[in-house]
Amino acid sequence: ADIISTVEFNYTGDLLATGDKGGRVVIFQREQETKSRPLSRGEYNVYSTFQSHEPEFDYLKSLEIEEKINKIRWLPQQNAAHFLLSTNDKTIKLWKISERDKRAEGYNLKDEDGRLREPFRVTELRVPTLKPMDLMVEASPRRTFANAHTYHINSISVNSDYATYLSADDLRINLWHLEVTNRSFNIVDIKPANMEELTEVITAAEFHPHHCNTFVYSSSKGTIRLCDMRSSALCDQHSKFFEEPEDPSSRSFFSEIISSISDVKFSHSGRYMMTRDYLSVKVWDLNMENRPVETYQVHEYLRGKLCSLYENDCIFDKFECCWNGSDSTIMTGSYNNFFRTFERDPRRDTTLEASRESSKPRAILKPRKVCTTGKRKKDEITVDSLDFNKKILHTAWHPMENIIAVAATNNLYLFQEKVN
């Protein structure tokens, strides 16, 4: 199994898609509760697997294009088939996943095994009938949106109009129509005329969940810009600018690096947005630009380890974050296969671990604790014994229920709230 690079529930939560470093997409489907297997409710089983992207080499630019799936975003379901967008660094693809559970039998011109029948043997006309067959799930690429990004795509986001979507790379954001592959509109361009003057890049972008004219994008400098597409065709001028003031005396070499936002997500309500930087998660009220309304420390004890985290490149790890369905709780990953949940009101945080040893099926997860003082209690883990190779970058929360998907390198864990 390959390293999982993205995890996403669909709008109903019945399907869960994962993308990996090898360009593959695996879709899991939730089992329906049945009388014969009451305990299987909530279990997700493999529904479909397909190769979405292949590695490419751009000979003209001497660029290796990884097949790694950076993001998957589902489209809302409009008919029996399911659609999703998956993207690597350069190309976005629209995939259709459909079920086939019937087969036509009784053709006139060919046998059941497909061989053509001799015409003189056809003595009577019959109407083919549909017979049930074993369920077959087919994935087929319906659109390929290519050649619109010079830099590496970090985000895709489907608009609430269900007709357009945006794709963002380090310096530009493009707007697409789902039906049109040969044209894309550039809506944000922060590339400076002289690349020597480059000071920040786009790190994530997302459309507002209800206002189809509004989107946000975050930067490597820890700022978020909200743009309104009604104001102009090119949204280089933001409508709102979110930045927390920094204490200049606390500035260090690491300040900008750790302030870089790795993920931005609107709340389901559309009133708030959440940003993830290296050490914290911040909740912003869209009506207040000068500071976040809530800040949660994910692993503050790493502040005293920044030198070695810089040397082993971990300081550049891009953690994602997510809201639960009611926006009451947020979740994000950390190291040592730990992930954290923060209940917002009243405030309560929990650290859990996604590993084989601590995740026996149906066992309750035990909260974990990192020891930050000298005295280590039993079951606590010291900062020095944390495994920085075991990082949880991707997590997802079911849109309505308390079921979470946690990707730990090449393993996917699904946890659900204990129902008595």
Partner 1 sequence: LLCVSPTVSLTVFQEMEDKVISPEKAEEAKLKARYPHLGQKPGGSDFLRKRLQKGQKYFDSGDYNMAKAKMKNKQLPTAAPDKTEVTGDHIPTPQDLPQRKPSLVASKLAG
CB of 212 to partner 1, least distance (A): 31
Q: Which is nearer to partner 1, 211 or 303 (CB)?
A: 303
Q: At 125, is the secondary structure helix, strand, or coil?
A: coil
Residue 143 or 305 with smaller CB distance to partner 1: 305
DSSP 193-249: SSGGG----EEEEEE-SS-TTEEEEEETTS-EEEEETTT-SSTTS-SEEE-----GG
Buried residues in 204-223 as b, exposed as e (16+ CB within 10 A) = bbbbbbeebebbbbbbbebb
Q: How many CB atoms lie within 10 A of CB 92?
A: 26
Distance CA 179, CA 161 (A): 13
Q: Which of 104, 198, 234, 288 binds partner 1 (CB under 8 A)?
A: 198
Size of the site for partner 1 (CB under 8 A): 37
Smallest distance from the beta carbon of 262 to partner 1, in angstroms?
Answer: 12
Element (H, E) at 16: strand 15-20
State which of residues 189, 200, 285, 289 lies at the interface with partner 1 (CB under 8 A): 200
Residue 346, preceding peptide bond in cis (omega within 30° of 0): yes
Q: Closest separation between CB of residue 55 and partner 1, Å?
A: 8
Residue 418 backbone class (left: φ over 0; alpha: ψ -120 to 50; beta: rest): beta
Which 201-240 positions form the footprint of partner 1 (CB under 8 A)?
201, 220
Give the residue with the Cβ less far from partner 1, 14 or 169.
169
Task: Residue 276: count other Cβ atoms within 10 Å of its Cβ.
Answer: 27
Sites for partner 1 among residues 301-360 (CB under 8 A): 303-307, 310-311, 313, 316
C-beta neighbour count of 326 within 10 angstroms: 11
Question: Are 149 and 201 a contacting pair, CB within 8 Å?
Answer: no
Tell me which residues in 79-118 interact with partner 1 (CB under 8 A).
89
Pairwise CA distance, residues 52 & 138, whole Å: 13
Q: Looking at residue 358, what DSSP letter applies?
A: T
Nearer to partner 1, 202 or 322 (CB): 202
Is there binding between residue 66 and partner 1 (CB under 8 A)? yes
Residues 134-173 that bind partner 1 (CB under 8 A): 151-152, 170-171
365 lies in the site for partner 1, by CB under 8 A: no
CB nearer partner 1, residue 107 or residue 151:
151
- Which of residues 174 and 329 has its CB atom nearest to partner 1 in the complex? 174
- Minimum distance from residue 147 beta carbon to partner 1 (Å): 16
Nearer to partner 1, 232 or 372 (CB): 372
Give contact residues for partner 1 (rule: CB under 8 A).
55, 57, 59, 62-66, 89, 151-152, 170-171, 195-196, 198-201, 220, 250-257, 303-307, 310-311, 313, 316
